[in-house]
């Protein structure tokens, strides 16, 4: 990935910026998606852990271990992607009468492109012991998907296809103007208009049985926003913001093995959000301590759901709301002693769903409460004997994994610590300790499972800055 930046100061009032970024990558991807079914769970928890078998792929478990194994998803694939984005803007500072303005205007052009080829295995992945898995699976005989159409995985209405290609092309125009009505009171408003062009194609496999699919959509979206900002002095700020945003499915063409699925809505139906936020920022003790507080409400329509493993993105007709309170405070308590604390209270629910039983349920992955506390003390700074040490706590209440609120990941509580020493302005050595209580936490959350995070762990690091 390469980035080029250009800045030109026309005069004391106008400056022009242009950022150009391009990137490409190639990837060969293969993974195992272990499944421990009811038989596996019963064997593990009810007296015979050695008999607990997992399937290495697919939604079907190993049961009692009969059969050769599994062939199912995720299937391996080769991916070729590239993207180009150019953002040009102008910042102008000027006055109209007694009003002071800062105007930002420009355009944003982006293109992402993705081509994939699925492969299949001719030999099944053998079942594995849950408590003593054998990493050797033997020769699975990997072949291109077109040479073994029967081995391709059917993806619902998209069927079983061996090749996919897609692109997203966005042309955006934006204009924002902040106007100071008085020295301490300003209003900021503007908009962004986008023309989204999205395409996704599925080809290959058994075309006679599963015809090729082609999706294409062009749409324009208009997203306004406005803020009222009050800064009585250099130490305090109060604001109210209303903003609208749109996230189209078509810009996910580089995600996962199956980046786009129509779901219950038409292809590329965007996710639309409305944000209302009221907040304040305040600095204390000669700006050594900073505190923030905000209350907000976020409403989403046609919620987009993404699988964190496969990257599969699927639209829905669901409408969701998340509202709550966020607090933070941080800064230098005493010379060399830095403390940061945050707390968030969230009240989320699904306000509408095509599945009536899901209405009123909590939004998946959103906790009701979460908090962090982190403190580091730097002793003997700027001396050969300098040492920094500290630690903190991260806590997250339980979260629901699915929209029906029938699967739940328990609360996370993590104690971590760090100690470091700097030899000079270039060299630094440090040791980090994570999950010091060796607690069973869950870091990776999915719609039907959760992955335990690492137990007690120490990580040493030597860094050189130049």
434 vs 158, more confident: 434
Tokens of 46: 């009810």
Q: Which of 25-29, 301-305, 345-349 has the highest mean pLDDT?
A: 345-349
DSSP 3-state of 62: coil
- N- to C-terminal Cα separation, the chain: 22
Q: How many CB atoms lie within 10 A of CB 422?
A: 19
340 vs 61, more confident: 340
Across 52-79, b (16+ Cβ under 10 Å) vs e yields: bbbbbbbeebbeeeeeebbbbbbbbbeb
**pLDDT at residue number 262:** 44
280 vs 269, more confident: 280
For residue 61, is pLDDT > 60? yes
For residue 179, is pLDDT > 70? yes
Number of H helices, E strands in the chain: 1, 26
Name the band, by pLDDT with cuts 50, 70 and 90, for residue 253: low
Burial class from Cβ neighbours inside 10 Å (0-12, 13-18, 19+) for residue 156 reads: exposed
pLDDT over 70 percentage in the chain: 92
pLDDT in tens, 105-163: 999 999 999 999 999 999 989 999 999 999 888 899 999 999 999 888 887 777 888 99
d(CA 153, CA 202) in angstroms, rounded, equals: 13
**pLDDT at residue number 304:** 65
Cis upstream peptide for 74 (omega within 30°): yes
pLDDT in tens, 307-363: 544 445 555 678 999 999 999 999 999 999 999 999 999 999 999 888 889 899 999
The DSSP bridge partners found for residue 187 are: 179, 228
This prediction has a pTM of: 0.80
d(CA 418, CA 388) in angstroms, rounded, equals: 8
Listed in sequence order, the residues at least 6 apart from 45 whose beta carbon sits closer than 8 Å to its beta carbon are: none
Name the band, by pLDDT with cuts 50, 70 and 90, for residue 261: very low
**pLDDT at residue number 251:** 58
In the predicted model, what is the mean pLDDT of residues 273-294? 95
156 vs 403, more confident: 403
Listed in sequence order, the residues at least 6 apart from 332 whose beta carbon sits closer than 8 Å to its beta carbon are: 288, 289, 338
Tokens of 340: 């940061």
Cβ proximity of 102 and 188 under 8 Å: no
**pLDDT at residue number 312:** 55
Quick one: which of 212, 220, 172, 218 has its CA closest to 199?
218
d(CA 122, CA 40) in angstroms, rounded, equals: 26
**pLDDT at residue number 255:** 57
Q: How many CB atoms lie within 10 A of CB 252?
A: 22
**pLDDT at residue number 309:** 46
Name the band, by pLDDT with cuts 50, 70 and 90, for residue 267: very low
* DSSP output for 362-389: PPTT--SEEEEEEEEEEESTTSTT-EEE
Q: Is the dihedral of CA 62, 65, 66, 69 positive or negative?
A: positive
Q: Which of 8-12, 76-80, 313-317 has the highest mean pLDDT?
A: 8-12
In the predicted model, what is the mean pLDDT of residues 41-50? 90
Phi and psi, residue 10, nearest 5°: -70, -50
Cβ proximity of 241 and 265 under 8 Å: no
416 vs 168, more confident: 416
d(CA 109, CA 21) in angstroms, rounded, equals: 11
Name the band, by pLDDT with cuts 50, 70 and 90, for residue 450: confident
- For the ranges 169-183, 202-216, 293-307, 418-432, the lowest mean pLDDT is seen at 293-307
Cβ proximity of 82 and 74 under 8 Å: no
Report how far apart, in Å, the C-alpha atoms of 395 and of each of 140, 326, 413, 414 are.
Answer: 42, 15, 5, 7
């Amino acid at each position: 990935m390469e980035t080029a930046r250009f800045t030109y100061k026309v005069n004391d009032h106008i400056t022009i910026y242009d950022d150009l970024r391009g990137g490409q990558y190639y990837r060969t991807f293969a993974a195992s998606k272990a499944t421990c079914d009811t038989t596996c769970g019963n064997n593990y928890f009810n007296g015979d852990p050695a008999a607990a078998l997992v399937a290495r792929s697919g939604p079907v478990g190993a049961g009692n271990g009969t059969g050769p194994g599994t062939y199912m998803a995720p299937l391996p694939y080769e991916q070729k992607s590239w993207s180009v984005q150019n953002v040009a803007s102008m910042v102008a500072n000027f006055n109209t009468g007694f009003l002071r303005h800062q105007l930002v205007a420009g355009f944003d052009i982006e293109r992402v492109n993705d081509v994939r080829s699925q492969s299949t295995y001719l030999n099944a992945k053998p079942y594995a012991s849950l408590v003593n898995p054998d990493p050797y699976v033997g020769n699975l005989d990997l072949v291109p998907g077109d040479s073994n159409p029967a081995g391709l995985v059917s993806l619902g209405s998209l069927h079983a296809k061996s090749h996919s290609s897609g692109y997203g092309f966005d042309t955006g125009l934006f204009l924002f103007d902040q106007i100071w009505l008085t020295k301490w009171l300003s209003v900021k408003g503007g908009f962004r208009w986008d023309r989204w062009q999205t395409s996704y194609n599925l080809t290959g496999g058994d075309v006679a049985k599963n015809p090729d699919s082609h999706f294409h959509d062009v749409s324009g979206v208009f997203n306004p926003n406005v803020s009222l900002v009050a800064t009585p002095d250099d130490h305090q700020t109060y604001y109210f913001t209303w903003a609208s945003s749109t996230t189209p499915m078509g810009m996910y063409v580089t995600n996962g093995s199956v980046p786009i699925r129509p779901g219950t809505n038409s292809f590329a139906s965007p996710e639309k959000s409305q944000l209302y936020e009221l907040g304040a920022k305040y600095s204390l003790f000669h700006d050594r301590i900073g505190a923030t507080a905000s209350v907000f409400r976020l409403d989403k329509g046609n919620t987009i759901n993404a699988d964190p493993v496969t990257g599969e993105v699927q639209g829905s007709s669901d409408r969701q709301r998340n509202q709550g309170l966020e607090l933070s405070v941080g800064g230098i308590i005493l010379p060399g002693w830095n403390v940061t604390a945050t707390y968030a209270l969230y009240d989320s629910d699904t306000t509408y769903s095509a599945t009536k039983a899901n209405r009123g349920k909590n939004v998946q992955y959103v906790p009701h409460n979460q908090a962090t506390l982190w403190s580091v003390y730097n002793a003997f700074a700027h001396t050969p004997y300098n040492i920094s040490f500290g630690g903190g706590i991260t806590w997250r209440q339980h979260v629901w994994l699915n929209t029906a609120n029938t699967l739940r990941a328990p609360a996370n509580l993590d104690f971590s610590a760090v100690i470091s020493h700097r030899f000079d302005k270039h060299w630094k050595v440090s040791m980090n300790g994570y999950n010091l209580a060796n607690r069973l936490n869950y870091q990776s959350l999915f719609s039907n499972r959760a992955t335990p995070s690492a137990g007690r762990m120490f990580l040493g690091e030597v860094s050189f800055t130049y």
